[in-house]
Amino acid sequence: MQLSLLPDEKTMYAALVKKENEFEGIFYAAIKTTGIFCRPTCTARKPKEENVEYFPSPKEALAYGYRPCKVCKPLEHKGATPEWLKSLLAEISANPQLRLKDYELKVRGIDPARIRRWFKKHHNMTFQAYLRAMRISSAFGQIKNGENVLNSAYDHGFESVSGFSDSFKNVAGFSPSKSKFENIVTISRIVTPLGPMMAGATDDGLCLLEFTDRRMLETQLDRLRNYLKAELVPGTHPIFDQLEKELKAYFEGKLQTFTIPLVTPGSDFQQKVWQILGEIPYGTTRSYKQQAEAYGNLKAIRAIAKANGDNRIAIIIPCHRVIGANGEMVGYGGGVWRKKWMLELEQKFK
């Protein structure tokens, strides 16, 4: 099965004109008249069809003498944190108790309006809401590990326990005094070569890894809340450090087996299907029929396909390795183009 072939040029040009997100990473459009190359989703004025040629990666476009577009920046991972924001996020990660007013952002050379737009676009919350969530996430861990509410409130910059409690309830969904008996899922945004992903972790392991543009993401988040009886709160977690290292190694073709602990709440049937998914070797594929055979019930093909789709941990539980009986790239929650990309990667390095 060849996975490196580009779509036909009519399809690619139509995707370029419509700025279709599903073709991100599948092709790059090089403009003969300007000498630049772009992502399919570039917002710059579109060229005539005869003035475009296509490449499967930025490397090939550069080899043919094209320059990267300054509008869509095709050499950067989609959703990557911009340089002007990296040092601030590192500062916040090192000190979750940090409180920053607009004038303090300006002292750091950051336009408050610019950072508000970025957080709204990429985290669907304001920058100040993000800071509050980080403080609450840190306070939750502190209280859960034995600190009293009063000290935690003052440690995190709150001037009163009542103000701390109100803010805590708004973010976590329960009062800080109940932290020892409640759970939260810490969530974070992870950038990958296939676009940004949302990761979720508990103290027991990784419970969520989904592409942020997946249509079922909100449904999966709701299910996770219900299964774990927990609220989802932005923050940092040691598991994310391990996740980023293992994902980086995977995308570089240096890792074939993930070791990160997983939390996969679901029905007994789903648990079994996900276990079977995890047994598909790196660089190989199975059909849904073969999955049903591994499960021991050929009549369960449709139910197994649905359970595959309900998998909340992409890549690591490799539902992308399941294909149609005829070898076709059939449904994948993260988009068929991502499925093709990962199978091509794995075939190259297996």
Digit-coded pLDDT (tens) for 32-76: 999 999 999 999 999 999 999 998 888 888 888 898 999 988 887
Q: What's residue 5's pLDDT?
A: 58
Average pLDDT rounded to a whole number, residues 225-246: 89
Neighbours of 292 (CB within 10 A): 21
The answer on pLDDT for 172 being more than 90 is no
CA distance 27 to 46: 16
Give which of 311, 217, 307 is closest to 263, Cα–Cα: 311
Query: pLDDT tens digits for 117-171?
Result: 888 877 778 888 888 888 888 788 777 777 777 777 767 777 777 777 777 777 7
User: 231, 225 in Cβ contact below 8 A?
Assistant: yes
* Contact between residue 230 and residue 214 where contact means Cβ atoms under 8 Å apart: no
Reading the block at residue 87, the tokens are 């040092």
Ramachandran angles phi, psi of 7, nearest 5°: -60, 165
H or E segment to which residue 201 belongs: strand 195-202
First to last CA, the chain: 15
Cβ atoms of residues 57 and 39 within 8 Å? no
Q: Is 207 a catalytic residue?
A: no
12, 54 Cβ separation under 8 angstroms: yes
Q: Which residues contact 202 (CB under 8 A, 6 or more apart)?
A: 183, 184, 185, 186, 228, 230, 263
Which residues are bridge partners to 53 per DSSP? Answer: 30
Q: Which residues pair with 186 in a beta bridge?
A: 201, 233
Euclidean distance between CA atoms 327 and 1, whole angstroms: 7
Using a CB cutoff of 8 Å and minimum separation of 24, what contacts does 114-123 make? 115/85, 115/88, 118/82, 118/85, 122/79, 122/189, 122/196, 123/189, 123/234
Residue 2 predicted with pLDDT over 60:
no
Q: Considering 38, 69, 72, 319, which one is annotated as catalytic?
A: 319
pLDDT band, residue 20 (cuts 50/70/90): confident
Report whether pLDDT(336) > 90.
no
Residue 137 structure tokens = 């996430």
Give the confidence band of 94 by pLDDT, cuts at 50, 70, 90: confident
Predicted confidence (pLDDT) at residue 1 exceeds the cutoff of 60:
no
The DSSP bridge partners found for residue 211 are: 197
**CA angle (47, 50, 51) in 5-degree steps:** 50
Nearest partner of 44 among 63, 20, 16, 22, judged by Cα:
16
- Are 172 and 182 a contacting pair, CB within 8 Å? yes
- Amino acid type, 318: P
User: The tokens of 116 are what?
Assistant: 């508000």
Q: Is the pLDDT of residue 79 over 80?
A: no
The answer to pTM > 0.95 is: no
